[in-house]
Structure 1
Amino acid sequence: MMDLILWRHAEARPGQEGEDDLLRPLTPRGEKQAARMAAWLERQLPQGLRTLASPARRTEQTALALGRPFKRRAELLPQGSPADLLTLVRWPQGRGAVLVVGHQPVLGQTAAQLLGMPAAQCTLRKGAVLWLRQRQRQGENQTVLLAALSPDFL
């Protein structure tokens, strides 16, 4: 059994012309979103969790709100793909739980792929979490949606 928790970065400042997109910080609202979701996650997350984050500033700030160590991984940058993400976390062969702090559209595309939906039909709001579990039932792999939560509902 493996859990994959997808956490989209919280609200970031809009990009400025000529600015490096990876340097955009969270807004004050984004900082509050990250803190609310981190408090909820902290109550739910299992021991032994691995946390991976895109090296973009806004994702690092979101991950820092959790107060746990995390690894920055280039595979999670905005131009990444669901295949990159799933290979990185070792889905579905991995064990335990992995929290990925990343970006749209790759988080939504990954969730859509795992849930058998068209990629364009799954979007995560800023600061939201999707918690998926891979399990085997009667010899078949299944993906179960355990939670879908936006910081606006906390």
Structure 2
Amino acid sequence: MDLILWRHAEAEDGHEGLPDLERALTSKGQKQAKRMGKWLDSQLPDNSRILVSPAVRTVQTAEGLGRKYKVNAELAPDAAPEAILQAANWPASKETVVIVGHQPTLGQVAALLLTGEALDFEMKKAAAWWFVQREADDPASLYLKAVMAADLVVK
């Protein structure tokens, strides 16, 4: 199974009266989302499943990919790393799954996959981490295929 963890792009700061889920991308964040979305689109199989947190900033990030996606409430900010893996049907899914979500959860998912512990790994805004587990019943077949930052993607 292929699992891509994609952190939302740069969002506006929260301020009093603005619910966290309503924070939108900045203009820089919109450019990051389009750049990373273009790269991901060129790499992903056509039948990939895209799951997105209900936050405005993650939905806007996913729109940079230009593919159909499904908003999943279980991916909201502060979700447990195990909930992310469950939503993705890790490691049993037959299709590539992209999760568009938040820190610190996505960094914790990456750490959990790599170390067995939900440590606080840093994942930069708009970055994508691509994991592959070749055999669903063999954790030793897991590897990190790619880590891509939005500023490394050719415009």
TM range (shorter): over 0.9
Distance 2:116 2:13 in 1: 30
Amino acid of the structure 1 residue aligned with 2:138: E
Root mean square deviation of aligned Cα: 1.5
Higher strand share: 1
Distance 2:124 2:110 in 1: 13
Aligned match of 1:58: 57
TM-score by length of 1: 0.93
Distance 1:121 1:106 in 2: 8
Report the count of equivalent residues: 152
Residues 39-54 of structure 1 mapped to structure 2, 5 A cutoff: 39-54=38-53
For structure 1, the 5+ residue unaligned runs are none
Distance 2:135 2:75 in 1: 27
Distance 2:116 2:88 in 1: 21
Distance 2:54 2:138 in 1: 35
More displaced stretch, 112-121 vs 68-77: 112-121
| Per-residue CA distance 1:86-125 (angstroms, 9 max, x = gap) | 1111111221200110001111100100011653351110
Structure 1 runs (4+) deviating above 3 angstroms are 117-121
Aligned match of 1:124: 123
Give 3-state SS (helix, strand or coil) of 2:36's partner. helix
Aligned match of 1:140: 138
Aligned match of 1:10: 9
